[in-house]
Structure 1
């Protein structure tokens, strides 16, 4: 797989996202800029300029019409994907660490950081999709403060009124979006910070990665751990490959401690694991630092990884990937 190298950021990547069709790739980084690229050839389509701090998180709606971003400048912003214009901004007392659209594109959930005496807060905004998108309500439709360990990741779960969250203690929990009550939790989902959380296309299960050197597959409804993938390096990101029984994991020691280890030790590869058999099936090298974020195209034809080195690498799968028989001679009916 010859990667396409996307050079549009000056600092380390924080999150990358494909749109639903898989033809556009959005990337954000610590250099305050959000870029959008064509996935098939890596050409840069445009940038979303306006944040004054690290852009921690982005998400695009299913129509590729609106983009939301959260940043260390304490704002959540709504952008027009087509024109690159900032349509609306919400301001908070602390940085926005994670944003996500609901399945029907009517709401956005965001987590703000616990800092300077402010609690970690989860806010849900109703997004008005009529007109040009500039007419948004300033107040969230609901807001709650998860007690206990700091929440770092959030997403809408398998049913509309539940929010799925990952925490610093390694806990994974479901919260009621209206009341903010914790509906269900798995305190021991991980032993350390949950670093990434990505749902399957139908949201019935999800994968998490953690600094405890494991990635886990969980059922969304019960939060049961279905599979565990154990590596020897802290993980920053994990993604589920659609249409094939693989999960992709990425990580590596953080930049601070890398100098004390050899490059081989840093383990800066993207790893492919068999989702069912929990076996590692391949690795893809390339980044000069830890892999911070991984996304797989919803079409299943390529994946992208963003690294501490400031590069995004897009890999289009070879023919052999589609011909491979992941279950041996057993034919799985779609």
Structure 2
């Protein structure tokens, strides 16, 4: 399994994301230019130029016409996907940590950090009236977060609710009509770094600093499975065609210099979704893996690391022939 290595960022990768068809791969990093690549051959299609700080989060809508990014320069931007033109900039009081289009892409959500004496807040915007004027930048809904800050976010499949992952390991389900919490669980002991849906949005997987990835039922936030490792998990993704979960992580970058790369364990790990057993590892990164994503057709996956590289792995035929013994 020889990867395609995408080299377009100068600093650590923060997030990677496929569009719905999987022909495009978007990447963001701690430099200020999100990139878009052809996922088939790794050719770079272009960059989105305009941010002045580290880009923490990205998302693309289901028609691949609009792209959204949130950064440490206290702004969230919406772009035209085809031309790379900036459609609108939404200013915030602190850096934007998460951003996400709703399933229909008529709305989007972004959350800000608890910093500079500013509270963590969640904003809902109507993307149909996005323009350069101030009216396109006014959120239609604003929810202040009194507890630990939001570190990851999911939008439910009917555009009616949002699930947030928090710094203390809590998951909270919000009803958008009332702006109130309808459910909260605390099954993690550390920061929830990442949350990703399965193909039909009935379950989602979380990745946490408490060295585990967990599978939850979307309806009532019921914990279904736990995938244990011996290092912080930064990202996890569910295969759309197999009962497989890939997780990526590693020690924090500041601890890595004192140990060898072998001890750092910078490999993607594959777990069986049902049996919680690890059955494979893919090495390659020189630092912690910050983001992993399965291709929508399930035949490849990508990982982005602290080393600034995105690696696109296409599975060999032996991966599909492999049968789990049970």
Do both proteins adopt the same fold according to a TM-score greater than 0.5, normalized to the shorter chain? yes
Work out whether residues 111 and 150 of structure 2, in 8 Å CA contact, stay in contact via their aligned partners in 1: yes
**Corresponding residue for 2:79?**
79
Work out whether residues 253 and 290 of structure 1, in 8 Å CA contact, stay in contact via their aligned partners in 2: yes
CA RMSD across the alignment: 1.4
Q: Give CA-to-partner distance per residue, 1:73-96, whole Å, 9 cap, x none.
A: 111101111001111110011100
In the alignment, the residues of structure 2 paired with residue 281 and residue 149 of structure 1 have an alpha-carbon distance, to the nearest angstrom, of 35
Aligned to 1:128, the other structure's residue is in SS state helix
**Corresponding residue for 2:27?**
27
- In structure 1, which of residues 201, 204, 211 is the aligned counterpart of residue 202 of structure 2? 204
Work out whether residues 152 and 194 of structure 1, in 8 Å CA contact, stay in contact via their aligned partners in 2: yes
Q: Give CA-to-partner distance per residue, 1:47-79, whole Å, 9 cap, x none.
A: 111100000000000111000000001111011
- Map of 1:302-317 to 2, 5 A cutoff? 302-317=300-315
**Corresponding residue for 1:103?**
103
**Corresponding residue for 2:154?**
155
Shift of 1:111: 0.7
Aligned to 1:276, the other structure's residue is in SS state coil
* TM-score normalised by L of structure 1: 0.94
* TM-score normalised by L of structure 2: 0.97
In the alignment, the residues of structure 1 paired with residue 325 and residue 87 of structure 2 have an alpha-carbon distance, to the nearest angstrom, of 48
Work out whether residues 89 and 132 of structure 2, in 8 Å CA contact, stay in contact via their aligned partners in 1: no
**Corresponding residue for 2:235?**
237
**Corresponding residue for 1:332?**
none
Unaligned runs of 5+ in 1: 329-334
Shift of 1:179: 2.9
**Corresponding residue for 1:227?**
225
**Corresponding residue for 2:252?**
254
Shift of 1:39: 0.4
Shift of 1:237: 0.5
- Map of 1:111-190 to 2, 5 A cutoff? 111-128=111-128, 137-187=136-186, 189-190=187-188
Shift of 1:178: 3.3
Work out whether residues 174 and 184 of structure 1, in 8 Å CA contact, stay in contact via their aligned partners in 2: yes
Moved over 4 A (4+): 132-136
Unaligned runs of 5+ in 2: none
Q: Number of matched residues?
A: 325
